């Protein structure tokens, strides 16, 4: 039982990673393990990192050539919940994250993520820097896998919004850091509810 944080940033130690770690830390305090997946590590060694829909249905040919891609997809399928994170690139997600997600077509066919809880984290360079459009793109990616998208709200805090939206440097955005912690707690509670281990 674990929450997989997918860092779509090319920087494994940047603002997005910082917020994702805060999500996982809060989930851990609720008793649910967290794991981090660095998308840059998955795509950087591929001769063709972008999906070309070479077969339909997908036969995962590229997964056989790149074990790290197969391992990443296996971690995604086995996760109890997922949180996607991306910095804002021209109002949407990074090319690296999109390239990885496009290569999860076979997972969609297997429907192994359907119903699992998921959330989103986005970081922009300015206060109104495309964070909400990026969160919406992340939601679309999760919904098309059939996941149950949640915001960063809980019954003991507030209803929340669409997800965690931060302004860099994220470490100095106290509001975003708190929303990341709330999202972590919410995902942990959803996982426990789904697994039948929620606290009364």
Q: pLDDT grade, residue 189 (50/70/90)?
A: very high
Q: Are 198 and 37 in contact (CB under 8 A)?
A: no
Residue 154 has pLDDT above 50, yes or no: yes
Residue 79 has pLDDT above 70, yes or no: yes
pLDDT value of residue 197: 56
In CATH, what number is assigned to the domain containing residue 108? 3.40.50.360
pLDDT, one tens digit per residue, over 2-30 is 999 999 999 999 999 999 999 999 999 99
Q: Which domain holds residue 44?
A: 2-194
**In a domain? residue 98:** yes
Average pLDDT across the chain, whole number: 95
Of the candidates 34, 77, 74, the residue with the CA atom closest to the CA atom of residue 184: 34
Cis peptide before 169 (omega within 30 of 0): yes
pLDDT value of residue 200: 37
**In a domain? residue 169:** yes
pLDDT value of residue 111: 97
Q: Count of domains in the chain?
A: 1
**In a domain? residue 123:** yes
**In a domain? residue 199:** no
pLDDT, one tens digit per residue, over 120-153 is 999 999 999 999 999 999 999 999 999 999 999 9
DSSP-derived secondary structure letter, 16? H
**In a domain? residue 102:** yes
62 vs 122: which has the higher pLDDT: 122
């Amino acid at each position: 039982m674990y929450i997989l944080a997918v860092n779509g940033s090319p920087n494994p130690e940047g603002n997005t990673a910082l917020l994702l770690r805060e999500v996982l830390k809060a989930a851990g305090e609720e008793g649910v393990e967290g794991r981090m997946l660095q998308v840059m590590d998955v795509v950087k060694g591929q001769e063709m990192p972008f999906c070309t829909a070479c077969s339909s249905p997908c036969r995962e040919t590229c997964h056989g050539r790149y074990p790290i891609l197969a391992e990443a997809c296996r971690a995604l399928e086995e996760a109890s919940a997922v949180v996607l994170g991306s910095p804002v690139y021209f109002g949407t997600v990074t090319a690296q994250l999109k390239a990885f997600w496009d290569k999860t077509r076979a997972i969609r066919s297997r429907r192994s993520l359907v119903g699992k809880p998921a959330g989103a984290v986005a970081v922009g360079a300015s206060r109104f820097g495309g964070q909400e459009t990026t969160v919406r793109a992340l939601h679309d990616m999760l919904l098309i896998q059939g996941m149950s998208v949640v915001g960063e709200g809980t019954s003991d805090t507030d209803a929340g919004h669409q997800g965690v939206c931060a302004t860099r440097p994220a470490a100095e955005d106290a509001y975003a850091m708190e929303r990341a912690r709330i999202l972590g707690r919410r995902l942990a509670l959803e996982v426990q509810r789904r697994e039948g281990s929620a606290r009364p």
